[in-house]
Chains A and B, each alone.
Chain A
Amino acid sequence: MLSEPLNNAARTAFQSEKPQIAWFAPIVLSLLLTGTAWATDWPENPEGQALAERIFERPASPGRVGIMNFELTNKRGRSRERVALMAHSEIEEATRVAIFFTAPAAIQNTAFLSHEYEASDDDSWLYLPATERVRRLPSAERGDAFMGTDLSYGDIRDNFRFPPEHWRFRANGTREVDGRQLIALEGLAHDEKSAREMGYGRFEALVDETSLFPLVIEYFDVHDQPLKRVTVGEVGLIGNAWTALRFQVENHQSGHRTRVFFDNMRAVPNLSNRVFQPTALADGVPRIP
């Protein structure tokens, strides 16, 4: 397991980057004003590209199951909690996620399923007990909020990776956080279209080299304004795949915050396909041996 809250340390680490942000701002602004190109002067480097590739190719889990806890906090500090059983599988080119809500009572038995493919649009389904029918959902934009949380559908899909089709990369040395050396990785959206699709124009991340997990990610919107900070508090090895067991997403612009943590996360390599069939959503929380 990796060490505890990096939030304050990360804030400090990023503050040391402030001159760079300030250097960046006029360029981004001028590009937005002229609208002719997307940050053409942003120098990428091979080290950054190589690190991003290693993160992207981090071993995936063929099957894992855990109790997912969400805590949604609004800008007035008022919190709501959600509890769900989450089943997750990454096999070949498909990532399948099934979420069966168990609390609070108002959303009990609501279930969400997504099948994400590298080469085509995602498929997703929602079961609302009141309608008694599994409904196929239109593909969400990557930047759309995921079920009222501060996570986007893209965040869920990418699972703490940075898809190379959307980003250019550069490594920017190391930062010491909490007594550990983390690699600074920065990314810039390929173009404005990519940025608008993701909801992010660029990011700055601190990556743990052992797990290849970004422990802190600062996202900036398409106008280069700070948008979100993702802080991973705990990472665990589930089966042969590193998995975030506790993380937090703060939205700087709305003042909202979403904390996510998992209980009883375990590897289930032979997770039944049945769990990921749309018709299974109506049957409620599945029996998983």
Chain B
Amino acid sequence: MNAGMLRAATRLASIGMALALVPGAAVSFERVSQRTEIEYWVGADGEEGRIALSRVSIRPSLRLRAPKDWDIELAGRLEWAYDRTGLGTTRSYSPASRPLIDSEHVRLEIDRLIASRRFGDNRLSIGKQTVAWGVLDGIQITDRFDPVRRRDFVLTEVRPERLARWGLRWRHDGEGLRADFAVAFDPTVNQLAQAGDRFEPRAPRLRGGLSSELDSSSFDIVQSARNRYWRDATYGLRLSHSVGRADASVLFLSGPDTDPLLRPGSLDPQRPTIELAYPRRKLFGATLEVPEGSRVWRLELAHVPDQPMNVEGASPLSSDERGRTLAGLGMDWNAPQGWFVNTQLAIDRLSSGGPEPVRPQTDVIATIRAQRGFLQDTVKLRSEVLTSLSDGDGVVRTALDWQFSDPLRLSLGADWLFGSRDGLFGQYRESSQVWLRFTFVI
């Protein structure tokens, strides 16, 4: 299937979605749920110039019951932004997943388009969908099937922000062994901040070892081809089983890495080019979730035998493959006085030997989050700290949500980033922000 055909198919699907979203068009379907979320998110940091963050998002979604036990889910996303944060890259999308409207300030994307049907204990889903694996929050140990949006770094309400891809999924939900097989024939890999935007990667560890002093305007960045639907497909299988009251799973996945590997492109000294490549890698993982009274313990382990990465070498942007082992432990706690506390620790270690990687041999990330509802949960206070113990940097985030009425929620928050400019969080220390979000859902 060539890219032109896929684009045409995508547009046809979007027309179908638009028709279905018009009430009354779906006469032969039963509407299960329908909602439209309208959000305005505005933020300020210490920088002068254009406002740091000013984004309007309109996200309609619809669930329908179709004849013959089929279920249809549709969701779209229209975004407008005029700020220094931007809407992120789309060249890292496959042509089939590219936004229907794709300009610097306006985007229209299909978020989900899924047809699914249950056959006894099995469920088949076909279309543009996500595959959320893993049991930890926002820390991706085994949860690496989906590409994610990184245009806002990690300063989003929900982490990770998944990108749906075209593919199919089969789930078997029997009483004993549960199986979940997914394949995405869609080489979309991520959404990064555009060059020059607030959350453009600056730390050398995320720039193939290039210094943060090197201005990204002095070279061109190109994405590797993202139109090899079969060769760059992602596939994976997860098997789960209950062990007493605990839940355990093992999984395997293979597909293009969702973090870029930087490679030298054109050698033109006047205008050098850097290619963002996404070589394939495999991941073997396991998860365990154990309830223990007012706590739930979560454990994840993963091993990537062939992790592509940039290394220090004779020439810039050298690369190599390494073994990579990730482990994470988390705990949810229903604390006294209505507080909910979540704490997590993750270790990401590369095998030793060979050239020095541009990132640390071992990354250690810790997170702690506390939240509580007041006044029949109409007011919620949440606060979290995400920190890299290896880089000595992090972010402190606090937010207050006020559910003013059923449709309207107001949120006020602050994100304070600290640490060295070369660190995972510290690279954005000038982007600490206060923000306000209005969310209206009908």
Contact = CB atoms under 8 A, between A and B. Distances in A.
Nearest to B408: A106
A144 interface: yes
B378 to A, nearest CB: 7
A102 interface: yes
Given A120-B245, A133-B132, A149-B376, A274 B121 contact: yes
Contact of A137 (B33, B158, B332): B332
A145 interface: yes
A273 to B, nearest CB: 7
Contact of A123 (B32, B35, B65, B245): B245
Interface of A: 72, 74, 80-81, 102, 104-106, 108-109, 120-121, 123, 130-133, 136-141, 144-145, 147-150, 256, 273-274, 277, 279-280, 283-285, 287
B63 interface: yes
Contact of B33 (A120, A279, A285): A285
Given A105-B407, A106-B441, A256-B376, A138 B332 contact: yes
Given A102-B33, A121-B293, A138-B293, A148 B377 contact: yes
Interface string B380-414: 00000000000000000000000101110100000
Which secondary structure dominates chain A's binding surface? loop
A80 B407 CA distance: 10
B291 A287 contact: no
A273 B178 CA distance: 15
Contacts of B65: 287
Contacts, number: 104
Contact of A104 (B123, B294, B295, B406): B406
Interface residues of B, number: 49
B63 A109 contact: yes
A149 B375 CA distance: 10
Contact of A284 (B33, B289, B293, B376): B33
Contacts of B334: 137-141, 144
14 contacts: A74-B376, A102-B32, A105-B36, A106-B409, A120-B245, A132-B130, A137-B334, A141-B294, A145-B377, A256-B376, A274-B173, A277-B173, A279-B178, A284-B71
Given A105-B441, A138-B332, A145-B376, 10 more contacts: A80-B378, A104-B407, A132-B132, A133-B132, A136-B247, A139-B294, A149-B376, A277-B173, A284-B33, A285-B33
Given A120-B245, A123-B245, A131-B158, A136 B289 contact: yes
B162 interface: yes
B295 A80 contact: no
Interface in B189-213: none
A274 B120 CA distance: 9
Interface string B156-171: 0110001000000001
B48 interface: no
B78 interface: no
A138 B158 contact: no
Interface string B61-72: 001010001010
B296 interface: yes
B27 interface: no
A285 B31 CA distance: 11
B175 interface: yes
Contact of B441 (A104, A132, A149): A104
Query: 7 smallest A-B Cβ distances: which pairs?
Result: A148-B377, A105-B35, A104-B406, A106-B441, A138-B334, A133-B132, A132-B132
Nearest to B373: A148
Interface string B55-86: 00000000101000101000000000000000
Nearest to A121: B293
Contact of A132 (B121, B162, B378, B405): B162
B221 to A, nearest CB: 30
A285 B247 CA distance: 24
Interface in B36-61: 36-37
A283 B118 CA distance: 10
